[in-house]
A and B are shown apart, each in its own frame.
Chain A
Amino acid sequence: MSSDNALPIHIGGLTKKYGDLYALDSVDLDIKSGEFLTLLGPSGSGKTTLLMAIAGFNRPDSGSIRFDNQEMILTPPHRREVGMVFQSYALFPHMSVAENIAFPLKLRKVSAAETNQRVEEALHTVQLDGLGSRNIDQLSGGQRQRVALARAFVFRPRILLMDEPLSALDKKLRERMQIELKQLHRQLGVTTVYVTHDQREALTMSDRIAVINHGRLAQVDTPTSIYNRPANAFVADFIGESTMLPLEHRPDHQLTFGDQFVATVPDDNPDSQWLLVIRPERLLVADDSQGNTAAAITFGGIVKEAVFQGDSAFVLIAIDNADDIAVRFSTGSASAMANLQAGDAIAVGLLKDDIIIIPREAG
């Protein structure tokens, strides 16, 4: 990723209030040059507000947005040099595909010959060669998406913003476009901020994910870290499936579940209440009969529900004194799941490295 194609974005103390409601509450975020960063959050979390603030369509009440070292807060959208793709594509229906893509070049007074050449290149990049003369209403949803993309990068912006660009596509096309977008990002090397509420999409595409909730950043990290080391209950719950069990905090700073040791409270952490986060697919069958379990902690219980879901099987286990634990097993013929039925006794366990603890939030 060459840095001359991309700009870093520095966001500091960004706050935006609508009435009494904080859409953005003192957000600090550094987006690296050339990075693919996803803003992930439920609807109303403030992710679109943040994107629109970067684009210049809403003015925050306070805080700073810098592209590299330049403060942008007071710069109008048309002078920010930011490519943007909307959920609705917002293609211009009174213009052909080529005219749509040429629009930003025309505004920049690029010569006709160069415009043609760059439109052709952009069409080639998004695999729409030869479709330049088409009308917008002759295109499929996926093709429209590509035109919107081409239009957003044809003028070589150093920042690209996307607001749920794939949510209108069907599942198969969406998954293919995710891969294509990722490849395109690698090819262009441009700093990309992507908004989605789909956690799987965020995990698939991002260099880093910024999880946002109630106008605050809940966690900013790589997909692996976000999934394997969620910082709080919101992130653990919003990304992936999980069961959360309360732990007992012993005076010697040890956290236990029943009488099993789980972890030691991290140094100088003031939180007193902790939860154990269990990812369903990380649980193994702990085979008590042969006593060869490698699990650091085990949970014995009764199968409450066993559901076959094709690529995996979902099992709900009722254990004493706690919520049911959700388990996901692969469905191969060697699977421990093969003959599991409701009412069977079962013991499952977690390896030491799969143990996740998070502080329990107040309220």
Chain B
Amino acid sequence: MRWWNKPASDTQITHGKRLWLYIVATIIMLLLVIPTFIVIPMSFSNSQYLEFPPEVWSTRWYEEYFGSAKWMRATVVSLKIGVLTMLVATPLGTMAAYALFVSGHRAARAVFVLLITPMIVPVILIAIGTFYAYGRMGLNNTITGLVLAHTALATPLVMIVITAALRSYDLNQERVARSLGATRLQAFFAITLPQIRFSVITCALLSFLTSFDEVIVAIFVSGGTTATLTKHMFSALRDFIDPTIAAISTIMVLVSTVLLLITQRIGANGKTER
């Protein structure tokens, strides 16, 4: 039997009859991915301008990036803010998700929705609001300000992932631990946390990525010595088209992809270990 005559699933639909579906799905996937990956060959061009496909191949723009004090400083800022956001948003979001999950309070649902609004509200509004608020508080162009703003964006993600993890966890385990002599805090750290640890690690990586990839808020509230990599890239694109951007984009795509693959793997492990 040819492959297109074989059933595609438990139903009797064959691969042949599903061919249109495969084609549509492939086109959609390509449309999603190509714009991202087109920068990779562009970054290895020798030209002064962004061009595709490159006529002469070179790593000149990578040398440019790694050799530039300005780009390096921005990268350090981005990494620093990413790590700090991860360190603040992960415990904060985990605590909020846990408290709202365990509490039977009738306001819990409303508080949850309130805390995840940064995910729903257009980021440009958050950026403008933050900019004005920070203006009064003197937080514009500070690491603290950026970390706080990015924490507000990352916390909803953490809360959603942790809440999902707690749903598949038997809270009676914590009750048992408490009846056996553990305080609430001991019970959480000894019993609950080890069982949702994969989700917590996933949240940490996602928080880092949320901050590392973020550009809109950064454009508004970062600048000077605290300008993030994304902000510098955006200004660079506006002022002059420079293939360094393509080189940096390639590196960022790589970092994001690797981190996402790690979270995927962790998620899969978490499922088999439970």
Chain A residues with a Cβ under 8 A of chain B: 55-57, 76-78, 80-84, 86, 88, 90-94, 103-104, 107-108, 148, 151-152, 155, 161
Complex contact B194–A84 (CB within 8 A): no
Chain B residues near A86 (CB-CB < 8 A): 172, 175-176
* B178 interface hit (Cβ, 8 Å): yes
Least distance between B144 CB and chain A CB atoms (Å)? 37
Chain A residues near B180 (CB-CB < 8 A): 78, 83-84, 103-104, 107, 151-152, 155
Least distance between B93 CB and chain A CB atoms (Å)? 22
Q: Which residue of A lies closest to B197 (CB)?
A: A94
Q: Which residue of A lies closest to B187 (CB)?
A: A78
Complex contact B175–A78 (CB within 8 A): no
Contacts A92-B191, A93-B274, A94-B194; A77 near B172 (Cβ below 8 A): no
Chain B residues near A92 (CB-CB < 8 A): 173, 177, 191
* B183 interface hit (Cβ, 8 Å): yes
Chain A residues near B194 (CB-CB < 8 A): 94
* B35 interface hit (Cβ, 8 Å): no
Residue interface mask B182-195, A partner, CB < 8 A = 1: 11001000110011
Chain B residues with a Cβ under 8 A of chain A: 170, 172-173, 175-183, 186, 190-191, 194-195, 274
Complex contact B182–A107 (CB within 8 A): yes
Complex contact B178–A88 (CB within 8 A): no
Chain A residues near B170 (CB-CB < 8 A): 88, 90
- A183, B124: Cα distance in complex, Å: 69
- A337, B95: Cα distance in complex, Å: 68
Chain B residues near A151 (CB-CB < 8 A): 176, 180
Complex contact A55–B177 (CB within 8 A): no
Complex contact B175–A90 (CB within 8 A): yes
Chain A residues near B274 (CB-CB < 8 A): 93
Q: Which residue of A lies closest to B190 (CB)?
A: A103
Contacts A93-B274, A103-B177; A88 near B182 (Cβ below 8 A): no
Q: Which residue of B lies closest to A86 (CB)?
A: B172
16 extra interface residue pairs, beta carbon distance < 8 Å, beyond A93-B195, A155-B181: A56-B179, A57-B175, A76-B178, A77-B178, A77-B179, A78-B180, A84-B176, A84-B179, A90-B172, A90-B175, A90-B176, A92-B173, A94-B194, A103-B180, A104-B180, A155-B180
Complex contact B172–A108 (CB within 8 A): no
- A351, B175: Cα distance in complex, Å: 51
Complex contact A107–B179 (CB within 8 A): no
Complex contact B191–A104 (CB within 8 A): no
- A282, B180: Cα distance in complex, Å: 46
Chain B residues near A77 (CB-CB < 8 A): 175, 178-179
- A88, B172: Cα distance in complex, Å: 8
Chain B residues near A148 (CB-CB < 8 A): 176
Q: Which residue of A lies closest to B175 (CB)?
A: A57
- A57, B179: Cα distance in complex, Å: 9
Chain B residues near A155 (CB-CB < 8 A): 180-181
Least distance between A64 CB and chain B CB atoms (Å)? 20
Interface centre among A56, A91, A107 (most CB of B within 10 A): A107
Chain A residues near B177 (CB-CB < 8 A): 92, 103
Complex contact A82–B179 (CB within 8 A): yes
| A–B Cβ pairs within 8 angstroms, 26 of them | A57-B175, A57-B178, A77-B175, A78-B179, A78-B180, A78-B182, A78-B186, A84-B176, A84-B179, A84-B180, A88-B170, A90-B172, A92-B191, A93-B274, A94-B194, A94-B195, A103-B182, A103-B190, A104-B180, A104-B181, A107-B180, A107-B182, A107-B186, A108-B181, A155-B180, A161-B179
Q: Which residue of B lies closest to A81 (CB)?
A: B181
